[in-house]
Chains A and B, each alone.
Chain A
């Protein structure tokens, strides 16, 4: 137990605890509002009077006074925080003394956690790039005109679910795992466990083709591994496409082929990440695809 209190106030970790609390609070607010609005819609009471764009108020003083009050409270909070708690300062930088564990700044710990499951070029470069590009693409691939300017879940089930999963689970939860559950040697420690710098966990991981008795470094193994990845994306794109086409889906028609491919690629990349985490943890899968130049 002493360990968790130690970790909680170590370095910048209280910030991450605060981060967790703030996110949970706002998730509750957002979904409560969404459920409330959805209920109003079901009961035919939508839009409520104040939602109509005709009901406008002047920025001065109604908006400006609010900004002013919020500014005062935030500044007060930061000042009190700065008085009560000191910023961390460790020993003089020394390239010859590597701390164990060495951790990136807290907001990158989700990516560092990914390093357990992926090679650095995927965890540290490909995923961050896909996240940035994917986020920027959202307004251009989400063509659903509903839910513009109010909280709702029912009208945007797919969009809200995917984003909530990506942000809350793949970003926030992995950061919290990286901060509070990863100890020496980047091993998993529960908060009540003491970190043991000498702990050795013998873990043998296998490449995908080794499960079916084929050397993953051989040409055959590489071809099979590559096919698995390609088939994953291909089937992931083709099957929903075929189903939607058969149903004569209006969404698919509006989306168009290129947008559909972009959505499907980003979506299956995100899901693939979770699948790999699952396979590593449960089946000790190391790589699905081994080539002389890169491994996935």
Chain B
């Protein structure tokens, strides 16, 4: 096929009704077209149209918030794939992980990247917070978005924490045991915490019982961790990320307005 033929095919495709219905306009290197590339596209429109040049430098932004979001997307996708192979029951969970390692095609790399990606997300979200503090970017008018960010940080830790138990091995079980044992000591609401006993708290009705669905890390705890990890917390985080990004876009990237 010669060049003329290529151009003709391209012309036919790009002028078809299907193409035009998907890609709303032709992109060229004009300012107007570049602006429209952001505002006219669902995936792009969470960016502001323009950003301060200094805020773009890698040594200024470090990209940690973006990397955290990227990892969240990656972990969501990988997590859905992992869910196909996983039963949240004490009899099967551990062996499902073994299956992922030894018999599911690409199962091992799927699980490995989910684990390392999860840890990396915890790291990047902390570094993101450090950067936002160091550039004073939480100052007016971004106070509220910083607070949302803190909540997102907590939920990132909880996401990782609930995922820890799902392998149902010694590492996960005892990490969760150590972690949730703290809840016993909650003032007022834990049976070993200050004033808990006076309020009638026992191992069977306190806040730790609510977390675990029992008084020990058992089958109910596994199910609760699974539901929190795969459904509840991702929903909450998705909602909060929406608000977080919308505020970033509205409040501007850096500096006072």
Contact = CB atoms under 8 A, between A and B. Distances in A.
A267 interface: no
A194 interface: no
Interface stretch (A22-30, A205-213, A245-253): A22-30
A62 B44 CA distance: 13
Contacts, number: 269
Interface string A44-73: 000010110101111111111011001100
Given A81-B113, A151-B134, A160-B134, A120 B175 contact: no
Interface in A130-160: 132, 135-136, 138-140, 142, 144-152, 156, 160
Contacts of A75: 70, 74
A123 to B, nearest CB: 8
Interface string B116-145: 110110110011011101111111101110
Nearest to A95: B216
Nearest to A23: B127
A112 B67 contact: no
Nearest to B73: A71
B210 interface: no
B63 A67 contact: yes
Contact of B175 (A58, A63, A79, A103): A103
A188 interface: no
Contacts of B161: 105, 108
A29 B62 contact: yes
Counting contact residues on chain B (CB < 8 A from A), the size range is 35 or more
User: Looking at B98, B150, B254, which has the most chain A CB atoms within 10 Å of its CB?
Assistant: B150
B56 interface: yes
Given A57-B51, A71-B70, A87-B111, A105 B164 contact: yes
A149 B137 contact: yes
B115 A87 contact: yes
A197 to B, nearest CB: 16
Given A121-B186, A145-B256, A147-B136, A79 B109 contact: yes
Contacts of B157: 107-108
Interface string B42-56: 001001111111111
A2 interface: no
Interface of B: 31, 34-35, 37-38, 44, 47-56, 58-60, 62-63, 66-67, 70-71, 74, 90, 94, 97-98, 101, 108-109, 111-117, 119-120, 122-123, 126-127, 129-131, 133-140, 142-144, 146-147, 150-151, 153-154, 157, 160-161, 164, 167-175, 177-179, 181-187, 190, 192-195, 198, 216-218, 254-256
Query: 4 closest Cβ contacts across the A-B interface?
Result: A124-B182, A149-B255, A139-B143, A120-B185
